[in-house]
C-alpha cells in the first residue's frame, strides 16, 4: 500500500480491516477508500471480506442499527424507506459530463466539475458518528470473462445487506484482479436520518461519472437508488459494452423447456412492473435471472449471464395461487428482506397477497390504519405499490443449472414487452433481426407505473426497456444492437409480447397465465417446429397451435373468438405509434441510423395496404 494512503486508513480501520484491505494489491482501490474516508469522515470503517463471519456481522448490524427490524419468521426482516423515497428518482439522477462528452438530449446530465462540487459538498462529513461499510461485488459469475468487479462504500447496513443477497461475493475477485484498474466504484450516504429514514430527500442526488466509472449517491435509501450495482452500474456497463462490442441489458434470462427435454434460453426486456419477474418465474420453466444480463457473441452464437444472484422484486400481487415458488420462499424461514410493506404483529402484508389484512399496523407512512390519508387527501394503501422483497435466487426451487456458468447460456430468443392497452397484439415475432431490433426493441413503448417517481399511466418511449439507463447516444445504442448480429452463425429470434391489451370495454383480453403459453410458442419457433402467419407488423401464431398449447400447458379450452379479438390488427393505433416513434427519432435522436427510418417506412406502407384492402381493424383470417 502506498505511504500516502496508509496513515489515514490506519486511523479509521481496525487492524483486521486494514489487513483485509492491504491484501488487495490495488492502488486505485486504496485511493478510492482513502478519498471516501476523507470526504465522508466516518468514525470507523469495516472492510467486508465475504467470509461467513463478516456476512453474519452485516446481517446483525442491519438490525442493531434499526435499518431493518426482525419479523416472526426466522431470518426475515423488514425495512422502510421514506414516504417520498419509494422509487428510482429520474429527476435527481444525472450523468456527470466531462468537457466534450455528448450523450444525447434525452438524458439528464450536468457538467462534471459542477456536479462533483455539488454532490461532494453534500457528502462532506455525511458519515460523522457512523460506521462506513466497504463491500466488494462481482457482477456476473465469478471468474467469467463476462463479469465486472465492483466496490461500494455505504453507511447503510440495509444497503450492504441487500448487496450480499443480490450480488456474488467480490473480495476474492479483487484478489484475482491484482492491480487492475478495471472495476466500478460507488459511494453512498443515507444523509441525515430521522427514525432511520433519509430525512433530506429534497436533496437526493444520484450522480454517475461515466469517465471515471463511479457513482455518487446521497440522501436516499431506496435500493433502486442506493444499491449501486443495479441500474446505476448498468449505465456504466452499457458504456463499457459500447467500447468492447457486447451488450449490457435490462433483461431477464430464462430456460424454456420444450419437447424431449430440450431447454431453450430466452432473454426478455420489460420496463419495471410490466411482468418481467413473473415471466422469468413461469411455472415449469427455469430462471437464470430476472433483471440484468450481459450478452456476448461467442463462437458464432449469443451467450448471456445474469449480472446478479438475487431478486429485488415488486411484491404487489404476489400470492400463493399466481406465484407459488416466490410465495414459498416468502413464507418460509430464510434470509428475506421485505421493504415498504405493512407489518402487524410481526407479520408482513401487501396488496394482492390473497389474505385478509389487519385494519392497522405500521408501514412506510408510520402508524397506519385503514382509511388513512396523506397531506394531499389521498388514501394511503397498506403497502406501497412499489413495495419489494429481496432474497437469493438459490432459495428458489426452479433455479436453472446454468445460472452460475461462467460461459453463460446460449440465447435462442429475445423478447420485448411493455404496457400497451390498445396497439400491440399479445404475441408477435419479427421478420428478421433488423426488423425486431427496430420495430420491437427500439420502438418499445410502455405506460408508466409505481416503480418510478411521478404520475402513473402515461405512455412513454422505452427503447429496449433501457432508456433510463442508456449512457451513450441513443442512435449508437440502437446501431450497436443492429451490428451485434454481424458474424453470428446462430441469430436469436426476436419476439414482442403485450400482457396488457384491452378490449372496447377496457378489460384485459388476456389472462395472467397466458404468458405460459406464449413462451412455449416462442420456444417452438426458435427451432422451426411450428409455422406462423405473416401480418404487416410481424409473425403471429396460428389458432390451432395456440389452442393445443392452451390445452397442454394450462388445461384450458382456447376460444376462436378470443384469438380473433386478441390478434386482430389495429391499423389506426399502429400507425399512430409509428408517428410517435418516427417523430422521436427524427427530432430527439441526432445519430439515428438511416435503416431505422427505412424499416419503419416499410411497416407503415404494409399497414396502409392492409387498411386499403380490409379496413381499420383486420381479422387474423384475412392473413391466414
Residues involved in catalysis: 274
Residue whose C-alpha cell is 449480472 = 307
Cβ within 8 Å of residue 27, ≥6 positions away: 2, 179
- Full DSSP string of 399-419: B-TTTT-TT-EEEEEEEEE--
Contact (Cβ atoms closer than 8 angstroms) between residue 400 and residue 288: yes
Distances (CA, A) of 510 to 403, 427, 558: 30, 11, 11
In which element (H, E) is residue 95 found?
strand 93-97
SS3 533: strand
Q: Output the CA–CA distances (angstroms, integers) from residue 400 to 20, 248, 284, 310, 609, in the order listed.
A: 34, 21, 11, 13, 45
Contact 276, 270 (CB under 8 A): yes
217, 224, 513: which is closest to 387 by C-alpha?
A: 224
Residue 77 three-state SS: strand
In sequence order, what are the residues at sequence separation of 6 or more whose Cβ sits closer than 8 angstroms to the Cβ of residue 333? 73, 74, 75, 76
Collapsed DSSP state (helix, strand, coil) of residue 478: helix
Q: Could you tell me which of 267, 285, 284 has the C-alpha nearest to residue 276? A: 267
DSSP string, 205-270: EEEEETTTTEEEEES---HHHH-TTTHHHHHHHHHHHHHHT-EEESEEEEEEE-GGG-EEEEEEE-
CB 614 within 8 A of CB 568: no
C-alpha cell at 549: 398449447
Amino acid at each position: 500500500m502506498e505511504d500516502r494512503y496508509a496513515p489515514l486508513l490506519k486511523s479509521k480501520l481496525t487492524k483486521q480491516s486494514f489487513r483485509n484491505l492491504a491484501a488487495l494489491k490495488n492502488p486505485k482501490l486504496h485511493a478510492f477508500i482513502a478519498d471516501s474516508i476523507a470526504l465522508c469522515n466516518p468514525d470507523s470503517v469495516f472492510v467486508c471480506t465475504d467470509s461467513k463471519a463478516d456476512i453474519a456481522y452485516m446481517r446483525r448490524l442491519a438490525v442493531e442499527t434499526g435499518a431493518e427490524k426482525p419479523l416472526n419468521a426466522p431470518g426475515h426482516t423488514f425495512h422502510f424507506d421514506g414516504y417520498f423515497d419509494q422509487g428510482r428518482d429520474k429527476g435527481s439522477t444525472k450523468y456527470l459530463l466531462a468537457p466534450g462528452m455528448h450523450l444525447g438530449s434525452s438524458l439528464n446530465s450536468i457538467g462534471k466539475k459542477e456536479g462533483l462540487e455539488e454532490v461532494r459538498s453534500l457528502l462532506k462529513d455525511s458519515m460523522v458518528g457512523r460506521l462506513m461499510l466497504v463491500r466488494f461485488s462481482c457482477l456476473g459469475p465469478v471468474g467469467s470473462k463476462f463479469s465486472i468487479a465492483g466496490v461500494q462504500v455505504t453507511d447503510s447496513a440495509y444497503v450492504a445487506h441487500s448487496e450480499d443477497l443480490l450480488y456474488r461475493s467480490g473480495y476474492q475477485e479483487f484478489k484475482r484482479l491484482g492491480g487492475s484498474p478495471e472495476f466500478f466504484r460507488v459511494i453512498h450516504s443515507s444523509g441525515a436520518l430521522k427514525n432511520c429514514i433519509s430525512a433530506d430527500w429534497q436533496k437526493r442526488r444520484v450522480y454517475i461519472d461515466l469517465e471515471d466509472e463511479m457513482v455518487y449517491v446521497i440522501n436516499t435509501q431506496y435500493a433502486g437508488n442506493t444499491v449501486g450495482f443495479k441500474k446505476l452500474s448498468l449505465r456504466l456497463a452499457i458504456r463499457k459494452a459500447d467500447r468492447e462490442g457486447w451488450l449490457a441489458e435490462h433483461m431477464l434470462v430464462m430456460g424454456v423447456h420444450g419437447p424431449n427435454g430440450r431447454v431453450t434460453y430466452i432473454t426478455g426486456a420489460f420496463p419495471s412492473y410490466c411482468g418481467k419477474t413473473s415471466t422469468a418465474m413461469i411455472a415449469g420453466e427455469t430462471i437464470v435471472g430476472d433483471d440484468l444480463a450481459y450478452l456476448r457473441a461467442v463462437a458464432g452464437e449469443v451467450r448471456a449471464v445474469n449480472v446478479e444472484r438475487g431478486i429485488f422484486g415488486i411484491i404487489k400481487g404476489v400470492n400463493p395461487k399466481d406465484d407459488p415458488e416466490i410465495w414459498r420462499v416468502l413464507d418460509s424461514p430464510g434470509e428475506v428482506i421485505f421493504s415498504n410493506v405493512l407489518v402487524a404483529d410481526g407479520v408482513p402484508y401487501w396488496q394482492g397477497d390473497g389474505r385478509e389484512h389487519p385494519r392497522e399496523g405500521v408501514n412506510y407512512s408510520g402508524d397506519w390504519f385503514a382509511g388513512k390519508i396523506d397531506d394531499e387527501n389521498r388514501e394511503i394503501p397498506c403497502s406501497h405499490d412499489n413495495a419489494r422483497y429481496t432474497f437469493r435466487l438459490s432459495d428458489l426451487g426452479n433455479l436453472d443449472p446454468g445460472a452460475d456458468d461462467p460461459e453463460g447460456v446460449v440465447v435462442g430468443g429475445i423478447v420485448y414487452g411493455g404496457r400497451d392497452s390498445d396497439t400491440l397484439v399479445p404475441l408477435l415475432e419479427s421478420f428478421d433481426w433488423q426488423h425486431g431490433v427496430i420495430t420491437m426493441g427500439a420502438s418499445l413503448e410502455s405506460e408508466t407505473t409505481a416503480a418510478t417517481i411521478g404520475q402513473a399511466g402515461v405512455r412513454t418511449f422505452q427503447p429496449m426497456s433501457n432508456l433510463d439507463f442508456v449512457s451513450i447516444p441513443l442512435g449508437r445504442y440502437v446501431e450497436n444492437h443492429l451490428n451485434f448480429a454481424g458474424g453470428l452463425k446462430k441469430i436469436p429470434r426476436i419476439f414482442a409480447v403485450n400482457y396488457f391489451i384491452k378490449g372496447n370495454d377496457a378489460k384485459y383480453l388476456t389472462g395472467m397465465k397466458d404468458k405460459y403459453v406464449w413462451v412455449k410458442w416462442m420456444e417452438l419457433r426458435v427451432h422451426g417446429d411450428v409455422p406462423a402467419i405473416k401480418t404487416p407488423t410481424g409473425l403471429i401464431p396460428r389458432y390451432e397451435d395456440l389452442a393445443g398449447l392452451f390445452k397442454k400447458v394450462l388445461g384450458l379450452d382456447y376460444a376462436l373468438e378470443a384469438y380473433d379479438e386478441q390478434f386482430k390488427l389495429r391499423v389506426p393505433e399502429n400507425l399512430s405509434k409509428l408517428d410517435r416513434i418516427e417523430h422521436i427519432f427524427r427530432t430527439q435522436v441526432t445519430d439515428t441510423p438511416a435503416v431505422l427510418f427505412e424499416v419503419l417506412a416499410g411497416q407503415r406502407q404494409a399497414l396502409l395496404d392492409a387498411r386499403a384492402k380490409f379496413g381499420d381493424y383486420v381479422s387474423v383470417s384475412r392473413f391466414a
